[in-house]
Structure formats: structure tokens, C-alpha cells
Structure 1
Amino acid sequence: MPSPIESYALLGDTHTAALVDRHGSLDWLCFPRFSSPACFAALLGTRENGHWLVGPAGGGECTSRSYRNGSLVLETRFETAGGAVTVIDFMPPRDQAPDVVRIVRGESGRVAMRSELRIRFDYGSIVPWVRRADGRISAVGGPDALCFDTPVEVHGEGMSSVAEFEVGAGDEIPFVLMWHPSHQSPPPAIDPFRALAETDAWWAEWSARLTYEGPWQEAVERSLIVLKALTYHPTGGIVAAPTTSIPEDLGGVRNWDYRYCWLRDATFTLDALVATGHTEEAIAWRDWLLRAVAGDPSKLQIMYGPRGERRLQEEELPWLPGYEGSAPVRIGNAASDQFQLDVYGEVIDSLHQGRKAGIEIDPNAWALECMLLEDLSERWRLPDEGIWEVRAERRHFTHSKVLAWVAFDRGVKAVERFGQHGPVEAWRAHRDAIRAEVLAHGWDDDRRSFVQSYGSKALDASLLILPLVGFLPASDERMASTVRAIERELVVDGLVRRYDPAEADDGLPGDEGAFLMCTFWLVDCLEQMGRIDEAHDLFERLLDLRNDLGLLAEQYDTKAGRLVGNYPQAFSHVSLVHSARNLEGDGEAVHRC
């Protein structure tokens, strides 16, 4: 059985990522990309579906663990009756050969250790052909191959490769696992200690660019490192999370594949990176966007693969029982075929934020914006599936219409503030028409609140974004009344739910946890409304939900007291960064133009 989500640490190399728990078990890893099939899938099944344990031979949980400052180099300390050891885990940033390095360092006494490597390609379904060649262990299955290097003796045991050894004070025993295509020769072995030094230096150089110096320095820095780890360096794409099918409802069916590049998630991530001094990622993502969406703007997708892939067919993996029995396990995502109106606004707003940050205007990017606005002119009156990707009938979601307003508003401002050229009068007319429609049909007089969709009585936490994007000031009584309604009806144990599934049909059975991003949005609204102490208290409550390494999932189960949903989640960490900046009190909301 996998560990609780909050037990896992993230390793990453800006191509893919791994999760390792407090016992030293690496239970999730996809090679060579985020969206590739997993070679360790114990996270969604059992250890028979693939894992790599490095820990004391007698078992046991770590006594302490932490990342090295400003990095994703993990140090996990184990103390036993015989002595103490530290396991150093990392993934070197790379150009070609992806690898995981684990170094066991003796601290005191002598400790019996065990490495248990159980490779199962294609999401735990393929037992590889394992052999020794040129002093290395090689595992091959279909298109994938892994080579395993270590100076200690390795033997076969129960369809896994096991090493049993002792370390004393000052000893350092390395293990390196490297992927390559099975039809090619293995890449040369690396020096693991040199790789460690280079990885430390790489992360130190990146983290040194951080411009945030506020009171939540540690939380903001850790969140930004997570966001950097979720970028796919070869193309500039940014994935929503490195996992699939971690349930929103433990034991339920709300299990989705997040290893893709949602335009919405990526734009939020870029806002956080640009605002804290990391403009290089914004330029790379802009270039990725231009390639990914090339062609007819009416065929704009809400998500793409890390390389810009468009076909993300959803399927189920029946051989995996799911995280804590939460089936089905899904790969691919059918929401890629949905129509979500808000994406237009988020993409165009992200490019607008880049202009505000001083990023040089790319004429190709502006041409794309003009094409998107032309397409939006014909489509903003249509119903859609909305930000929450409902698997029910399309509706006129209030949030979607507001983000369509954002798209035209940012187009107008590009002309007014930055000297761009476009049909600004037409854009102003659409902006005004959308605003009037939302105020007329997105508001419910009986509830004294904006509602999820036209004609609905349901509340929706996405409405909290209205003041954050400049649609209405937080001081507007309609907005203040909406916030109060959300606090009354969608807040559970101090945290915000997206909506009530019993009231707002999303086409799925079951329930879900509190949505952390929405709770950060409430922090931002409270701050703008002048309820500063409440905003600070709620922000600190959210910080307390992070695990010991500063990581957040998508949601929090208030009944179980556990993180749920895919992990770590870009949305949650982006919102943490935005709220931290808002609470500094510089007078300007992060999301506003």
C-alpha cells in the first residue's frame, strides 16, 4: 500500500519527476518525460507494480529529512540501533540521458542497508528482461531500458534486484539508475559525486534569481522551485502536476491525469515566475505556446502534451488498483477535447503580464492574440464546460464569461498602453457587452450573490477571481455579498470547496476535498476587502497544510485530515506565491492589470 500523499518528496530534473516516501521508497517515476509510462507505479498499486527502496535493512521511517537550500536535492536521515545514515536523492538536470542518483552516506556507527529495485515498465505491467553487461545491470522492456550502476554487489531476489550492504561513518555508497531507448546502447556511466556538485550548483544559480524578499521567503522559494521542476525544459511547456489519478475523493472515481500542459495552469505559473524574477521561463513558454497552438485558432485546446502533443486520449489501466483503492487509474485526459471559454482570457492575460514585466513583445505572439480575440468574438456567447471541466452539459458559466471579458480587456490595454495595433473599438464593444451580460445574468437577486452559471442558484468559488482580475473591485457590495455567501456555504473547517457537487451537477458521483487554490483566492479577496487579520490567519492555516518539505496537493480532505488530489500541484503553489505577495501590502493586487 502506498504512503499518505504528504509522506512523499519530489525529485525532478525539468524533464520528469519522481516521488520518494519517508521510508526511502521511490514509488513513482515516468521516464523520459512527465507524460511517459511509469517504470515505478507502486503509488497507484503495490510494490509489485514497481518501486525502488533504499533504507535500513530492518526497515523504518526517517527521523528527519530536508531539501538542501534552494534545491530539490533531498537528504533523508535514518537512525537505527547500530548508527545513523543519510540517503541523498536527486535527479541531475540533463540534456539527454535521464537518471536518478541515490547516495548512502554513513554518519555514525555501522548500519545494515538494503536497496530493492523492482522495475516494472508501462505503468507496472511489464516485468523486464534483466541481465548483466559490462559490469552494469541492464533491464529491457519494449521501447524502454534502464541501466543500474553501483559498487556494491547486487543479486536477484523475487523478480527484483537487491543489494545488502553496511555503511560506517564517512562511507558513501552511490547508486545510479539511467534510462535510455532499448534499441540504443546504454549511455556512459556518470560520476555520481560530480553530478551531485553540479546539481547543487545548478539549483543554487536558479534560486539566486528570486526577487521576493518578504516575510514568507521559505514558503515562496519552495513553491517556485516546485514550479520550476514542473517545467519541461526542452520545449518550455509546464505540466499541472507530475502524477496521474491521485484521487480527489479517497476511494472514489475522481481520478485524473495531470501530467499535461493546461494553458490555464501554465499561465498562472508564469505569472508567479515572472513576478519573482524568472522571465526566462516566460519566454520559453511563449515560444512553446506559439508552436502548440499553431493552426486554426478555433481548434485551440485547453491542454497539450509537454512537447505540444494534441492527442491525449483517455484510457483506464485495469491492472492498477489505484491509490488506496481509488479506481480507475486513468492516463490521458478527455478534457483535452472540451471547450473552455476561460482559456482565452488566461492565455492573453499571461502574455499581457509578460509585457508589463518588460519582456520584449514578439510580433508572432501579438498576431496569435489577435487571432484568438477574433475567434473569441464569435464564441464568447456559447456555453462551455468551464474551469472545473464538468462532464455534464455545457452551461453559461459566470467565471468563463468574466475571463472572456479579461481577454478583450487585455487586448484593449495592449493597444492603449503598449502601442499595439488591432480592432480596439470592436474589442471595447465586446468587453462592454460581456460585462453587462454578466452583471445581468450572473447575479442572483434572491441569493444576493453571483452564481456559478446563468439561471443557476449554485455558488462557485471561481467567482472569487472577479476582483483579482479587475472585473469588479472587492469593495463592490455585490462582490462583498458573494464572498460572504461563499464563506457561509462553501467553507468547511476554514477551507473553500469549489462548489457543492450535490447542488451543481458536474456529471460525476462522489465528493471531493477543499480546493486549496480557491482558499488562497479567498485570502486575496479578504486582503482586498480590508479584512487583513482574517487574510493573514487563513494564509497561515494554508501554510500549515504543507508537508514537512513545503509541498501541497490540489486539495485537502478536512474529514481525513489529509492532502488529496494530484501532487505536488502547480495551482496550489502558484496561488501561495500570489497570496504571499498580496499580503505584503504593496497596495496592488497581483492579478490586476
Structure 2
Amino acid sequence: MTTNLDLWPIGNCQVSGLVDRAGRLVWACLPRVDGEPVFSSLLSGVEAGDAEAKGVWAIDLEGCVKSDQAYLRNTPILVTRHEDEQGNAVEIIDFCPRFTSNERVYRPVAFVRVVRPVAGSPRIRVRLRPTRGWGNGDVDHTAGSHHIRYILDREAVRLSTNAPIGYIVEERVFRVEHPLYFFLGPDESFSTGLAPAIERMLHDTTVEWQAWVRGLATPFEWQDVVIRSAITLKLCQHEETGAIVAALTTSIPEHEDSGRNWDYRYCWIRDAYYTVQALNRLGALDVLESYLTYLRNIVEGSRGGHIQPLYGVLGEAKLEERIEEGLAGYRGQGPVRVGNQAYEQVQHDAYGQIVLCNVQAFFDSRLFRMAGVEDFTALEAIGDLAWEVHDKPDAGLWELRTRQSVHTYSAAMCWAACDRLANAAHRLGLPDRANFWQDRADKIHATVVDMAWRTETQRLSATFDGDRLDASLIQLLDLRFLSPQDRRYRATLYALETGLRRGTDMLRYDSEDDFGLPKSAFNVCTFWLIEALYQTGRTEDARRLFEEMLARRTTAGLLSEDIDPATGELWGNYPQTYSLVGMINCAVLLSKPWAAIR
């Protein structure tokens, strides 16, 4: 069991893992992010440092009294330094190889660890204890002269190492006198020397990530925040298909003993839209291009019909939700859920997000594949769906499970679909289609304003019925549905901040849902508020609130989905794309210009 979310992600856009403050790998799934956990102690209910802990890969320094961690600059390569009372010290380098070789990206289903003695005569113990069957079964192993083979449910993985195999198998303490190399990956032998091969992987992976970061258009201020968020968002993309998962974990509760434990290791159309939007602001077009390929497959597969709010990383439509009893959950607070019932829901905002992601391809000459008339015709089918459902009930962006309403946010996203199709038609020189889509957009806009505005309270409601406060209304500004000067927007923003803000933090809403009253704040809602404060002229308030949110980050520089407004403790799946997007967007918006250094 890990007692907090102070965790460091590593990965290569095929697999990912989380390393705790003691340098232990406590979460990793194979053969991809939505697979079964081979390291599962994050959700085991047992502390990773305990003698009986399973689902952990620990490299512990005997008598350790001090540990420091940091990423290699502009990479997701983690360096952990352990030191004992006598000053003996080791350095552990954790990474997943990812680099271009022979015109292809090499990203194996593998985790690499390098242990270097850096002072004195350090002694370590290696505990490599993988799990299978979601904690329900023990893992058998066989050992060779330079490897250990672990038998999982569907396949085997092999640890190749130059460390003494007997010490690893029996978990004995031994002295580190030279660099040790560990490669846990496919059940294949190394065809070359292990040490030079891993050193080359480390070098090439470092260069690859630093070159990617070098191409980012970062703001002048908060560059470390933006770069770390961008790298981690990149890790959330399953590069093989272009899918972008909402988080790297499942079943971290939204708050203590809440039962609000969800599996976020899938691609939500909404979350992916926000991710590519943020990375586009930094010029990371590779993520957008890969995602658009994934999205085109989803749209074509729907054959003009309903589009789900989420899909699997390979485009799987059916994501049946189940509870795995073999793991007790984060801090023992289950259930541990696999799959997500939300795939069955109707969420109309997805149509707007599909068009918003695609529309850039009609305008951006930097893209390898710009969109044309054929692409526009395909997108018109999405616009037709948006038009048909803009005033129909749905589950909303917060995915309510037991009731539906006509949600203002969803309707505004349907408006955005039609509005941006009009823009694309103008770009393609199709005036008749531009007028057609602009007419639909205007009608939706009028409907939303008419149905959502409440004369009695002088604000917009989150639904066409009732008078509900919901932070999603802040997004009407980002969508360009309303302007910062619009009195209706300003009145709504005042009501939202008054009703939903709790100190530094913003709630999603303050009414009961399927699980009662929410107790945690949703981090991205606070970032939405920061953007709105800035755009409505409250610059200093926005900067101050942004700095307060940055102070909530883990030592890795990241945020989870939720936060306890009273204690500041992070909850929810981690790292979460929404929260990373919020940090990037606010930094870009609030930063002083580069001209400030002249």
C-alpha cells in the first residue's frame, strides 16, 4: 500500500509505471496501460516496504536514512539516490526505453533499472515480486545463469541482469561494487552485451525526450511546470494507435472512503480534446496528429451513429465494468474497478470535441496531413448528430449514472461543432455549407441562452431545467460561446465563484449526485476559474491562485484529479490529464512575454 500520491511516472508511450519516494516500482501494467498490473502494491492495501508486500519491485539500500529523487532534465527518466548513515550511497535510474531506430520508434514492453555505486560500499536488497490476475495468484519463476523468467497469466516476462541471480531470487543483501543492469521485458534473451545495450538505450532515450522538449513553444514563466506537464501528457498517449488515456491508474478514490473509484485507463473523447488543445498551444503537433488518426477510426467505426464518450486504447467499444476482489484498494479503500460503465452512457458533448480536435487540420500548414473536402464531408455527419441532440438529455460531462438532463455544457459543445464546421467550410471555399452550419450554430446558441438563463437569479443554469451551479459553465468562455465582457457570463462567473469556491479550490457542483454530496474539489475546475479571472481582468487574483495551485503539486511536479479543500491532500487517479492541461493552459495565459528578458 502506498500512503500518498507522491509518485513519479516513467514510461515510453507503450507501458508506464509509478515509482514511490523510496524508489520502489509500485504500479505498472502489461502489455499496455489498460492491461493487468504486474506491479500492483499501489492498490494492494499493504505498504510496499512491508516484508509481506507483493506487486512491488524494490531496490533497497541497507540502513538507508536519506533518499533524493529527480528526473533527468527534460525527460521522464528518474534518478533516485539512497544514502546510509555511513555515507554509502547508490543511484538508481528508472526508465522505459523509447527512441528512433531504423526509422521506427523503439518502445518495448519493458522497464529498465540501473544501479550505480556512488559512494563507499553500499549494500542493497532487491525484491522483485510481480503479481498476476489482479492480485489473485502467485507468480512462478525459473532462473537461468543471467536471467529470471516470471510466468504471468497470458505470457512470461524475463529479467535479464548482470547482478547475481541467487541474490535476487533469495532476496539477499549484497554489496554493489560496479554498475548493475536490470531489463524486465519480453521473454527473449539479449543478443548483445547487456551493459552496453542498456547504456545505449539510456543515452538514446535521453536524447529523444530532450529533442522533443526542445521543440515545445514554452512560455517565459513556469517553464519547469509546463515541460513536466507536457512530458507526462505525452506518456498518457498510447503511441501505437494515438489514443490518449485520462490517467495512468485505476481506482484511486476521489476522497477518503468515498467509493468513487473509477478506472481512467481509457480514452475519453472529452479528456483527449483538452489534452491536444493544451499541447497544441506548445506546438506538440505529433500528439494531435496521432490522436486524429485514432479519432478517424472511431468516427468511421460508428458508421454515422452514436459515438461513445470513451473507448479502449485499441478502439474497443465494450469496456464492461467489474470489481476485482484480489486487491484491497488504495489505502485499503476499495473497490478496485476494471473497465468503465460510462461507455454505455449518452454524452452529447463528444460531438463538439470531435469537431474541435479536427478543425485545426483545415488551417495548420505544419501538419503532415492537412484536411480537405473529403474530411469535411465526414465531419458533417458528426455535425448532424450534434444538431439532432443539442436539446436532448444526456449524462453530462460528470457522467451521472442515475439521471439525465439537458446540460448547458453539452448543448454549447454541440453549438461549437456547428460553429467550427462553418469556419472549416469558409476555409475550403464552400460558402453554401458555411451558411448552412452557421445558421444551425446561431439557432443552437439562441436556444441555449434562452433555456439556460434564469431571470430570477440572473445567471445561467448548468441544465435547461432547475437552476444548478456547475463549474463547467466557466468553459463557455474558452469555447467562445460568450465573451469576457458579456454581462451574462460575468454574472454566472460571480455566482459560480461564490457558490462553489472553497478557499483555493473549486468544486464541480454542490448538489447531491449518485454517491451523495461531493467532498473533494476537482483540480481542473480551479484552473478554469484561473483562466476566467485573468480574461475578465482580475490578473493578480489569477496569478496568486495559480501559484497556490502549483504549491499543491507532488515532488514530481504533478497533480491528481481531486483535492481535499480542508487538508490539501491529493486524491483521485494520478497523474490526471485534466490537471496537467490546466497547468499548461494557465502558464501560457498568465506568463510574461519572452520580450520581458530584453
Q: Fold-level match, TM-score > 0.5?
A: yes
Q: 1:379 aligned to 385, 389, 412, which one?
A: 389
Q: Is the 8 A contact 1:40 1:124 kept in 2?
A: no
Cα distance in 1 for partners of 2:190, 2:139 equals: 19
Partner of 1:125: 136
Query: In structure 1, what is the equivalent of residue 549 of structure 2?
Result: 542
SS of the counterpart of 2:26? strand
Give the percent of matched residue pairs that are identical in Structure 1 and Structure 2. Answer: 32
Q: Equivalent residue for 1:53?
A: 58
1:397 and 2:407 correspond: yes
Question: Equivalent residue of 1:313, what SS?
Answer: coil
For the pair 1:316 / 2:327, whether they are aligned, the reply is: no
Q: Aligned partners of 2:319, 2:42: CA distance in 1, in Å?
A: 22
Residues 161, 289 of structure 1: alpha-carbon distance in 2 compared, 3 angstrom cutoff: farther
Gaps of 5+ in 1: 587-593
Shift of 1:36: 0.8
User: Aligned AA for 1:50?
Assistant: G
Letter in 2 for 1:222: R
Is 2:144 the partner of 1:137? no
- Is 1:3 matched with 2:3? yes
Secondary structure in 2 matching 1:27: strand
- Deviation for aligned residue 1:60: 5.0
Separation in 2 of the partners of 1:394 and 1:40? 38
What amino acid is aligned across from residue 436 of structure 2 in structure 1? A
Q: Is the 8 A contact 1:31 1:179 kept in 2?
A: no
Evaluate the alpha carbon distance shift between residue 118 and residue 61 of structure 1 in structure 2; reply closer, same or farther with a 3 A threshold: farther
> Which residue identity does 2:321 align to in structure 1?
E
| Alignment match, 2:526 | 519
Asked if 1:278 is matched to 2:289, the reply is: no
Aligned match of 2:596 = none
Q: 1:150 to 1:187 in 2, by over 3 A?
A: closer
Q: Aligned-pair distance for 1:187?
A: 6.4
Mapped to 1, the partners of 2:172 and 2:311 lie a distance apart of 41
Q: In the aligned structure 1, how far is the partner of 2:255 from the partner of 2:75?
A: 31
Distance 2:304 2:552 in 1: 40
1:425 aligns with 2:425: no
CA displacement 1:381-426 (0-9 Å, x = unmatched) = 2100011111121101111111111111101111123435773333
Which one-letter code corresponds to 2:450 in the other structure?
A
> Conserved in 2, the CA contact under 8 Å of 1:465 and 1:521?
yes
For the Cα contact (< 8 Å) 2:411–2:444, is it kept in 1? yes
State yes or no: 1:448 paired with 2:458: yes
With the length of structure 2 as denominator, give the TM-score of the two structures. 0.92
Name segments (4+ residues, structure 1) moved above 6 Å: none
CA contact (8 A) 1:314 1:331 kept: yes
What SS class does the counterpart of residue 4 from structure 1 fall into? coil
Deviation of the 1:117 alpha carbon: 0.6
SS in 1 for 2:93: strand
The Cα shift of 1:566 comes to 0.7
Letter in 1 for 2:74: G
Q: Kindly state the Cα deviation for residue 74 of structure 1 after the two structures are TM-superposed.
A: 0.5
Query: Deviation of residue 26 (structure 1)?
Result: 0.8
Q: Give the alignment partner of residue 83 of structure 2, picking from 57, 60, 79.
A: 79
Residues in 2 aligned to 1:58 and 1:130: alpha-carbon distance in whole angstroms: 29
Work out whether residues 553 and 567 of structure 1, in 8 Å CA contact, stay in contact via their aligned partners in 2: yes
- Alignment-mate amino acid for residue 81 of structure 2: R
Query: How far 1:448 moved relative to its partner?
Result: 2.2
Secondary structure in structure 2 of the residue aligned to 1:79 = strand
The match for 2:109 is 98
Q: In structure 2, list runs of 5 or more residues that go unmatched.
A: 99-104, 594-598
* Conserved? CA contact 1:514–1:558, under 8 Å: yes
Please, which of 203, 210, 227 is the counterpart of residue 197 of structure 1? 203
For the residues of structure 2 that align with 1:163 and 1:347, how far apart are their CA atoms?
A: 54
The CA deviation at 1:325 is: 2.4
Aligned equivalents of 1:576, 1:421: Cα separation in 2: 39
- Is the partner of 1:463 in helix, strand or coil? helix
Corresponding residue for residue 408 of structure 1 = 418
Q: Is the 8 A contact 1:247 1:326 kept in 2?
A: yes
- From 488, 491, 500, the equivalent of 1:478 is 488
Alpha carbon RMSD of aligned pairs, Å?
2.0
**1:164-218 superposed Cα distances (whole Å, 9 cap, x missing partner):** 32235xx3222221145xxxx5565752222111111111121111122421111
Q: Which residue does 1:552 correspond to in 2?
A: 559
Aligned partners of 1:420, 1:99: CA distance in 2, in Å? 50
One-letter amino acid of the counterpart of residue 100, structure 1: F
Counterpart among 151, 155, 162 of residue 171 in structure 2: 162
Distance 1:565 1:356, change over 3 A: farther
Conservation of the 8 A alpha-carbon contact between 2:221 and 2:592: no
Match of 2:226 in 1: 220
CA 421–100 in structure 1, closer or farther in 2 if over 3 Å, else same: farther
Distance 1:420 1:123, change over 3 A: farther
1:96–1:551 Cα change, 3 Å: closer
For 1:165 and 1:456, the matched residues in 2 are separated by 68
Deviations 1:322-359 (A, max 9, x none): 11122211010110111111111111112123434433
Distance 1:291 1:367 in 2: 15
Whole-angstrom distance in 2 between the partners of 1:292 and 1:458: 33
Cα distance in structure 1, aligned partners of 2:167 and 2:300: 50
Query: Match of 2:102?
Result: none
Q: Does 1:251 align with 2:257?
A: yes
The answer to whether the 8 A contact 1:117-1:161 is kept is no
Question: SS in structure 2 opposite 1:294?
Answer: helix
5 Å-filtered alignment, 1:240-389, equals: 240-295=246-301, 296-358=303-365, 359=367, 360-389=370-399
For residues 467-522 of structure 1, give each alpha carbon's deviation from its aligned partner in whole angstroms, at most 9, with x where no partner exists: 1111111121211111111111111121111111xx2x432246342111111111
CA distance in 1, matches of 2:453, 2:577: 30
2:386, 2:415 within 8 Å by CA — same for their partners in 1? no
Does the 8 Å contact 2:11/2:95 carry over to 1? yes
CA distance in 2, matches of 1:136, 1:422: 67
Equivalent residue in structure 2 for 1:583, among 578, 590, 594:
590
What's 1:591 paired with? none
Q: How many Å separate the matches in 2 of 1:124 and 1:92? A: 27
How far residue 304 of structure 1 moved from its aligned partner, in angstroms, is: 1.1
After TM superposition, the score normalised by the length of structure 1 is 0.92
- 1-structure distance, mates of 2:167, 2:147: 14
Q: Verify: 1:108 aligned to 2:130, yes or no.
A: no
- Which AA in structure 1 matches 2:277? D
Change (3 A) 1:59 1:559: farther
2:568 equivalent among 535, 538, 561? 561
Q: Distance in 1 between matches of 2:115 and 2:340?
A: 39
Q: Distance in 2 between matches of 1:498 and 1:386?
A: 12
- Distance in 2 (CA, whole Å) between partners of 1:144 and 1:98 is 12
Provide the C-alpha distance between the structure 2 equivalents of 1:258 and 1:339, rounded to a whole number of angstroms: 18
SS of the residue corresponding to residue 113 of structure 1 reads strand
Cα distance in 2 for residues equivalent to 1:299 and 1:161: 55
AA aligned to 1:341 is H
| Greater alpha carbon shift after TM alignment, 375-384 vs 339-348 | 375-384
Decide whether the 8 Å contact of 1:243 with 1:258 is kept in 2: yes
State the alpha-carbon separation in 1 of the partners of residues 473 and 580 from structure 2: 20
Other-structure match for 1:207: 213
Q: Output the amino acid matched with 2:226.
A: V
Determine the C-alpha separation between the residues in 2 that align with 1:387 and 1:507: 14
CA contact (8 A) 1:253 1:509 kept: no
Q: Which residue of 1 aligns with 2:41?
A: 42
Equivalent pair of 2:222/2:591 in contact (CA under 8 Å): no
- Change in CA separation of 1:24 and 1:96 when aligned onto 2, cut-off 3 Å: closer
109 and 370 in structure 1: CA distance in 2 versus 1, 3 angstrom threshold: same
